Amino acid sequence: MTAAPSATAFPITRSATPVPAAERAARMENPIFGKVFSDHMGYAVWREGEGWGEHQIAPVANLPLHPGAAALHYGQQVFEGLKAYRWADGSVALFRPDANAARMARSAERMALPAFPEADFLAALDALVALDEPWVPSAPGTSLYLRPALFGSEPSLLVVPPLEVTYTLTACTVGAYLAPSKQGASIWVTRDYHRATEGGTGEAKTGGNYAGGMRATQQAHEHGCSQVLFLDAKHGRFVEEFGAMNFMAVRRDGSIVTPRLSGTILPGITRDSLLTLFRDEGREVEEKDIAIDELIADVRTGEITEIFACGTAAIITAVGQLKSDDFDVTVGTGEPGPVTVAALTRLTDIQYGRAEDPHGWIRKVV
């Protein structure tokens, strides 16, 4: 048996000017997603021929980035998103960080970037969350959102894999996911834009996928919808995913249907966790191509009773309406249905330590 590779140490430089406790509490009161950064960050640099070095946890600061840095021009960038959850006993836990590490390695390979070793990915998370633990909120449903990223930082306008890559890890206090009692979201199904193509970068978590989707989200807003749903690029017919969440539907018989991982959608960790929990409770789960015309017909007849979006940031968002140029349908009652609400409870109970963790998904940090 070979031992797991050990992590590189991340020496800590504490901020000389951390946000004072009263100001921190004020910022954490009602945080806008992704705006309330903690005091510190993780950092490392990879250089061709040298590998990874300069590992550190340091005060959050602007980076010394040359305007010719590769990522600014050619989008050589990948990232991850996961959360640290405060438990009732005051401890703090991460949820499946090993899955994020593995996905970032796959994304990096697709974008011709060097992998950041899993042991270091986890060590940096442990160190940053322990140091910035006061930024982990305790109000129900809140958390510390963690954002590892890799980007080509070499000053070079050559269109080649970069010879220097920077790793950063930032953390943001985030508010509660939407309460399940709220009205379901209105979704615009775009026929004008596609997120990904076969052989493209759809299953990598890379910035360009999101940049390319922004116009579609604007279009959704113009139609009075909060989010966009993308269809496949080849046929313009099969449901892929939302702008930053995976798609799931519930049939009248309680079974679950979700798009298969075709290579053009992001393999969500929330998606995988929910499918596992649904199977645990004996539900039939089908991963398949879902044609939008059949889906709309099934929503109209009541064969599909619930639809929801799932992902780390918002966990689960119930879908109330699906709209496009040629349809406008209400899903079920338009409010979050029982399977959606129960799934949110089941998953968050594990994440917040209120229920047993049957699959070993929890990593205690503090």
Ligand X SMILES: Cc1ncc(COP(=O)(O)O)c(C=O)c1O
**Which positions lie near ligand X, rule CB under 6 A?**
81, 241, 244-246, 266, 268-271, 311-312
Q: Which of 9, 3, 5 is nearest to 124 (CA)?
A: 9
CB of 226 to ligand X, least distance (A): 16
- Decide whether 81 or 141 has the Cβ nearer to ligand X: 81
- Decide whether 131 or 204 has the Cβ nearer to ligand X: 204
CB of 207 to ligand X, least distance (A): 11
| DSSP code at position 201 | S
CB of 2 to ligand X, least distance (A): 28
Per-residue tokens: 194: 């596609």
- Decide whether 38 or 209 has the Cβ nearer to ligand X: 209
CB of 80 to ligand X, least distance (A): 8
- Decide whether 19 or 265 has the Cβ nearer to ligand X: 265
- Decide whether 19 or 245 has the Cβ nearer to ligand X: 245
Identify residue 227 by its one-letter amino acid code: Q
C-alpha distances out from residue 250 to 24, 142, 258, 311, Å = 41, 27, 9, 17
Q: Which of 352, 350, 331, 143 is nearest to 248 (CA)?
A: 331
CB of 269 to ligand X, least distance (A): 4
Mapped onto helix, strand or coil, the DSSP state of residue 208 is: helix
| DSSP code at position 12 | B
3-state helix, strand, coil in the chain (%, to 5): 25, 30, 45
CB of 117 to ligand X, least distance (A): 20
Give residue 54's region: left, alpha or beta (phi > 0; psi -120 to 50): left
155 CB burial (10 A radius; 0-12, 13-18, 19+): middle
Helix (H) or strand (E) holding 350: helix 338-351
- Decide whether 41 or 266 has the Cβ nearer to ligand X: 266
- Decide whether 143 or 270 has the Cβ nearer to ligand X: 270
The dihedral through the CA atoms of 263, 260, 298, 270 has a sign that is: negative
User: How far apart (Å, rounded) are the C-alpha atoms in residues 318 and 331?
Assistant: 9
Give one DSSP letter per residue of 193-224, joined into a string: --S--TTSSTTS--HHHHHHHHHHHHHHHHTT
CB of 106 to ligand X, least distance (A): 12
CB of 265 to ligand X, least distance (A): 7
User: How far apart (Å, rounded) are the C-alpha atoms in residues 254 and 278?
Assistant: 10
- Decide whether 96 or 251 has the Cβ nearer to ligand X: 96
CB of 217 to ligand X, least distance (A): 12
- Decide whether 194 or 271 has the Cβ nearer to ligand X: 271
Per-residue tokens: 226: 């909060």
User: How far apart (Å, rounded) are the C-alpha atoms in residues 103 and 80?
Assistant: 8
CB of 342 to ligand X, least distance (A): 18
- Decide whether 97 or 311 has the Cβ nearer to ligand X: 311
Q: Show the CA angle centred on residue 282, arms to residues 278 and 283, nearest 5°.
A: 55
Per-residue tokens: 267: 């393999």
